Chains A and B, each alone.
Chain A
């Protein structure tokens, strides 16, 4: 009997440890996703921006940030990174009105990163808003599911269409390599 109980406990602990190990290994890829873009950094940004502006549902460009700039200002080199910020009042409003989940304003505005890696390829990095949403109740979960649907539309790029111009917000040039504050939805 003692052997069975001991075996069960050891099995459970071992199982939990393995599950934790697997989860910790996979957490990064579950929370964040990246995909390769066939275009240059600037063209990728411009195409995503164009899609955001055409998406409806209250989406607006909130800013464009250059996280590499502060590093460059200190004399260091990093490959180009651009951060597109977009927001929709349709989705942000309900979350911001609910005291229990207002802290999720930390995740606003929505961000899409476009960056080059040392393999020379351009990547698009996005947050798995759907997964995060599921952690905070049904209202947030449903809202984030809608965000994910729209986000997928942002990333559809038709190479047969000409490159649109990149939208560079004209106001709010600030710290952190930021250039933010166009007509924002948040």
Chain B
């Protein structure tokens, strides 16, 4: 390069630097003007929302003025239909059809249960599922934390000041629908938790791995939702497309193989651990990682990484025994007893409850499919009735050993027709169990509403319901230690189809091993005896 070329290159560089400086000076600083919300739209500035709303459906109409396909999308989801058709059996599932192990059935109890429906006005079977303004946008999109729906209002929010629970002396203020509508945002853990943390009538009652401690969880409780760390919201994993939320327990993929799915790519099961971590996620020391990675062919990630569920102060309900419901106190009046930390222990309306926390899961083979006992199905009352049965067997492709919360209880059944009974529990009418404490009246109304026959007799049968555990993932250092499974009577005791070193034995290998050891010992002994008995040879004299 000549001196002239060097000078030219230097001048070009200098010119480029000057140009960059000038351009930078021209760009105004916008940092302090960035809107506080993440959305590209500030809903508080929309004239459609700048008015007083008297009802939820009025707000929905305003939403649909812009989001004109949103209601149609929602109406195709389980959050709206509360119905799922099992593609394998044709069985009608979903909250609309199944009997669960908690409040039992939604049928005839819609006004209460629909506090958790993403809609307005589902009071009975005449509800119009095609009416778009009945879709409740706010329950999922409220960011103010003030939107509240109470049992008894068929899914409507609170419009007038109301005493709740009735007779408690506590009052709930009406929702400011305009404020809520102007503050809509993407769903947060609090939005989803409104129903999924408080399902079955109380915090932590139903799931065991979902309760209000996950609104703002510390790292030990969940590494992904850790409020000071990754701070995942539910929809980070339960990715949503056209309002269809991935990862429902009705269509759960018990295993997913292959590499991690890059973000932004369409995944058939984005709510699985493997979607981000792949099926060979362990990367530490080569041998140990390889050993752990072979476990992923047999175990769900959750089996090791959720050592206990309900790890927090809330706890979870283990037992709901309906057979003691309607028992009154000594004065003949309904009784409500609480346990040592204020959770319901007995309620004359509902029966006995047992709670606990830091619970070791129960483990089962699971292929993602669940068989349900639904209304009208025959049961065997001499055995515990499985409200749902996680299917799957050893060595079945797609099946893994999963952790479950198994909720146990007793429910009313018909001893002649041998099926579970639909009980009209909620309501203020004279047949509601929680109003008049009369089982026959409540069963009559429940079964008539469900369109099912009843012999007129009732008794109680033991039941259980299994809930796969997938949340409350502990930091990796707190995964289940190897020895807790690889020991007699360990965590996986009773699980078929697995070979557990430390637990199982092979007679042939053991015999060969012991024989080898015995022969080695005998050989050594003989050698020693020979050495002792045969006098040492004296060193040869050089002479």
Interface residues of A, Cβ cutoff 8 Å to B: 40-43, 45-47, 71-73, 75-77, 79-80, 116, 118, 120, 162-166
Contacts and interface: CB of A to CB of B under 8 A. Distances in A.
A165 B307 contact: no
Interface stretch (B130-138, B355-363, B391-399): B355-363
A75 B219 contact: yes
Contact of A75 (B218, B359, B484): B218
B475 A75 contact: yes
A42 B354 CA distance: 13
Contacts of A118: 360, 484
Given A40-B355, A75-B219, A77-B311, A162 B477 contact: no
B474 A120 contact: no
B312 to A, nearest CB: 9
Nearest to A168: B341
Interface of B: 218-221, 226, 307-308, 311, 337-342, 345, 355-360, 474-475, 477-478, 484
B475 A77 contact: yes
Among B308, B342, B345, B474, residue most surrounded by chain A Cβ atoms (within 10 Å): B308
B335 to A, nearest CB: 11
Contacts of A162: 337, 345
Contacts of B475: 75-77
A77 B340 contact: no
Contact of B340 (A80, A116, A164): A164
B358 to A, nearest CB: 5
B73 to A, nearest CB: 39
A41 B221 CA distance: 19
The 6 A-B residue pairs with the shortest CB-CB distance in the complex, in nearest-first order: A46-B340, A75-B219, A77-B478, A72-B220, A43-B340, A166-B340
Contacts of B311: 77
Nearest to B226: A75
A7 to B, nearest CB: 26
A79 B357 CA distance: 10
A41 B339 CA distance: 12
17 contacts: A40-B357, A41-B357, A42-B340, A42-B341, A43-B339, A72-B220, A73-B218, A75-B218, A75-B219, A75-B475, A76-B475, A77-B311, A79-B308, A79-B358, A162-B337, A163-B345, A165-B340
Among A72, A75, A76, A79, residue most surrounded by chain B Cβ atoms (within 10 Å): A75
